[in-house]
Structure 1
């Protein structure tokens, strides 16, 4: 079948071609992969609680013995009826188990294979995209529109309401993993108790952490070269008593994540795919993609070295560490400004 785009996934699954007997659901959003696999399995059996109708199989076990999946797919249900087989994610190759079912599809069962982030050249993904009886469904982190829909649905089902400002504020704190976002919304609804209207104060009380948000603001300011925003974020964090070593450590971790993503881009991956794998809150996605486009691997390695030395110095001497932290962050921000402008710093 023709490969589908991420935004087409829900529609394709809702209107699944009866000839499609194997569905590969993959992507960096493990929560969304699991959610879609579960929904598809429920839609294709009469009783999801019946272990004979909905069969769960380990991806690791199937990789070790590919015939297990073929045997299960060709098993006739004891009491008839529709059957679904869910295969859990594995880092081991599954192509040997799937290929026979692409050539000779199961007449009795639909096979749902869950997987992580697969590159375009991955043999399993390629085989499913080319097969006439299979469908490959990508799952990337939720965009703001998707998060808004999820928030509205869950709030409405709980008998509560939320205004647009509060909803947008909440969406900005949620990450790119569907299940994690749902847990955060459930926690918020529980905290609100009998109150029927959710407010920004409810969100700030239970979703995310103020210091973490200010650290994120500082990090994005560094890599985009926005010096006023960096100054403000650093002042707020210092006012809250955050240790300079902790502050630098947060920037260092993000730098290492950027370096890994940039190296993936150097190997041919897209910025969008690499950022999706980082599972960042939606408002940070654009800033991170911009940083990956302007910062080279060499510059990020330089940043890692500067931050590593400054972090060690901050841990050895707290007073000197404050000055050192400010110096290295401003140095990197100037590099970030030059990189954004395309200048030679």
Structure 2
């Protein structure tokens, strides 16, 4: 019988994991959310997550040639006893042979957390976990607009803060639907609001107003405006700062989908101004967005969306090539925009 959760059930499970599941797979297209939940599950199981013996990290590709390493580590008993977490970040190679013995014979004092990308239903690891009674699969999808207020509340609550109605509305308009990026921006807001219990719209504008001019947005706008040189400089800076390639590609993908939706609405007779307003673009980016609308046709954007989806999937399967894949896809799109 498949053991799988999705949607609101996942957050409840992460808060109070069922001890019956020794192996937990966290996967999905929202890389930031996948990482956040995997981290919470791995660290939350042990007394001291900063102790390298209690919390052991593995790169999936490194252990694929020796599948017994995870089982050996999970069944190791410490000198002073206690529970252990094994946190595995899956790569392009098949981890199913390494996980199968642990699912068949679960360790008593160890939890194995596997952090993975957007796995298809036929993926061997996902199929193995979903078909087991001793393992759990947690799917992580994008934080939709309707879910953002709850996400904002939850993350601010971690800092002992809440936001008033105007602040929530502004945050919803300004934040991209990726949990890692949302957390990063709310951490800045929490630091700024230290000593205050309520976050106001003025606080949001003071701290996050530069989101519209952020490096990530500079990359995306340069790509769709047809400015390959600007794109290359900003993308290099992003990667130097440690941004994940699949997250960067995801931002471009969301922008392409927003452009496509707006372009289709205009083609069907909607007012350009009203259609652009409905896209909820941050005000500092509206001029660039309108220029991009003039460059792109709906059919061409559909091709771009397919290109970005393929690049993101490949980046998740081949983490080491993520930056190359992002650069190649972005250059192709920027060149096409420059010719428009």
TM-score calculated relative to the size of structure 2:
0.66
**What SS does the aligned partner of 2:56 have?**
strand
Match of 1:259 among 285, 299, 306: 306
**Partners of 1:87 and 1:114 within 8 A in 2:** yes
Match of 1:285? none
**What SS does the aligned partner of 2:305 have?**
helix
Find the aligned partners of 1:198 and 1:61 in 2 and give their Cα distance: 44
* Larger CA deviation: 245-254 vs 216-225: 245-254
Match of 1:23? 24
Find the aligned partners of 2:22 and 2:65 in 1 and give their Cα distance: 23
Structure 2 gap segments, 5+ residues each? 225-254, 278-282, 317-331
Match of 2:148? 147
Match of 1:222 among 263, 273, 279: 263
Q: 1:193 to 1:228 in 2, by over 3 A?
A: farther
**Within-5 A mapping of 1:173-188:** 173-188=174-189
Match of 1:301? none
**What SS does the aligned partner of 2:24 have?**
strand
Match of 1:209? 212
Match of 1:168? 169
Find the aligned partners of 2:102 and 2:337 in 1 and give their Cα distance: 56
**What SS does the aligned partner of 2:113 have?**
strand
Find the aligned partners of 2:140 and 2:270 in 1 and give their Cα distance: 37
User: What's the offset of the Cα at 1:29?
Assistant: 1.3
- Residue 312 of structure 1 pairs with residue 339 of structure 2: yes
**Partners of 2:46 and 2:83 within 8 A in 1:** yes
TM-score calculated relative to the size of structure 1:
0.65
Find the aligned partners of 2:161 and 2:18 in 1 and give their Cα distance: 37
Find the aligned partners of 2:86 and 2:337 in 1 and give their Cα distance: 53
Structure 1 gap segments, 5+ residues each? 265-273, 278-303, 314-345
User: What's the offset of the Cα at 1:75?
Assistant: 1.6
**Partners of 1:218 and 1:230 within 8 A in 2:** no
User: What's the offset of the Cα at 1:187?
Assistant: 2.5
Find the aligned partners of 2:204 and 2:300 in 1 and give their Cα distance: 26
**Partners of 1:249 and 1:311 within 8 A in 2:** no
Match of 2:295 among 236, 239, 248: 248
Deviations 1:153-197 (A, max 9, x none): 444555655222330231232223211101112233445677765
**What SS does the aligned partner of 2:64 have?**
helix
* Larger CA deviation: 150-159 vs 83-92: 150-159
Over aligned residues, Cα RMSD in angstroms?
4.1
